[in-house]
Amino acid sequence: MIEVKQLYFKYPTMKDYVLKNINIKIELGQIVAIMGSNGSGKTTLIKHFNGLLKPNEGYVKVFGKDTQDESVAALSRKVGLVFQNPDHQIFSDTVWNEVTFALKNFGFEEEVIKKRVKWALEFFNLIQYKDTSPLLLSGGEKKRLCLASILAWDPDYIVLDEPTVGQDFLQKEKLREVIKMLITRNKTVIIVSHDIEFIWLLQPRIILLSNGEVVKDDVCANVFKDDASIDKCGVIKPQFVELFDHLAPLLPHPPLDVLEARSTFLKLMKKGG
């Protein structure tokens, strides 16, 4: 698991702590969304998961190993991080070589590398660009290339920073299916996102951050019942939850909760009702 204990962190040029007394555990087989307003510490927190940042106080352990004692390369084999801005991650001369790079560094055999790269590029509809410079791709294509590069080496934790930015509806749906597939393989997907509707459909565990502190850590349905917490963290409710809150009191036989309402709605949609 990833275990964070009494984590405090501040950047060298800053006076105040960006993260304060963070205590969380993230086990395998989970979908976890980290949410909060800009500047709440979300990206700073996930950069601790693979050792890009090290705590000033407290510790972060990945599979029992303190990140202070491990290199970023060693931690990245277990924790793959896709940055919000793909231009901060892409550096190879071709799309094929971009996906190949980490596999070579992790010591995969050549035949395995070829199969994994081909699978990843085909899966994300990038195979036609295999000999193209990544710099010539669109923003959305670059995001998919970064994700392909991470999934190719099959880490246990996949951390996605704003993965839906620049993606159209179909690509978001594909990403959602990828996440669900990864969970069936006992992987954990950690998502930093402001895309409320995308997160709501996944129904993950949600960690709310405000001013570098954990305000709430609970299942999705419970988080969006807590108006005080989501308001404090600058998070809005999903449209379906807002609709349920307004309509449920007016119905003669309202559903027990918003999840039951969502399930009923999806069944009616499938039947064309």
Domain boundary assignment for the chain: 1-78+190-237, 239-273
pTM above 0.85, yes or no: yes
Return the CATH fold of 1-78+190-237.
Answer: Rossmann fold (3.40.50)
Q: What is the mean pLDDT of the chain?
A: 90
pLDDT band at 239 (very low <50, low <70, confident <90, very high): confident
Report which of 24, 66, 69, 65 is spatially closest to residue 42, judged by C-alpha positions: 24
Q: Name the DSSP class of 227.
A: H
Query: Can you read off the two tokens belonging to residue 43?
Result: 């990206």
Backbone phi, then psi, for 108, in 5-degree steps?
A: -70, 150
Q: Who's near 164: CB < 8 A, 6+ residues apart?
A: 172, 175, 193, 195, 198
Question: Would you tell me how many other CB atoms lie within 10 Å of the CB of residue 163?
Answer: 26
Report which of 64, 86, 46 is spatially closest to residue 167, judged by C-alpha positions: 86
> Cβ-count burial of 172 within 10 angstroms (0-12 exposed, 13-18 middle, 19+ buried)?
middle
- pLDDT beyond 90 at 228: yes
Strands, sheet with 213-219, edge to edge from the N-terminal-most edge strand? 79-82, 157-161, 188-192, 31-35, 205-210, 213-219
Whether residue 171 contacts residue 124, with contact meaning beta carbons closer than 8 Å, is answered with no
Q: State the DSSP H helix or E strand holding residue 19, giving kind and residue range, or none if neither.
A: strand 19-26
Q: What angle do CA 69, 75, 80 make, to 5 degrees?
A: 155
Within 145-233, strands assigned E span 157-161, 188-192, 205-210, 213-219
Report which of 152, 142, 135 is spatially closest to residue 99, judged by C-alpha positions: 152
Predicted pLDDT of residue 260: 64
Q: What is the pLDDT of residues 98-153, one digit of tens each?
A: 999 999 989 999 999 999 999 999 988 999 999 999 999 998 899 899 999 999 99
Residue 213, helix vs strand vs coil? strand
Predicted pLDDT of residue 258: 60
- pLDDT beyond 60 at 253: no
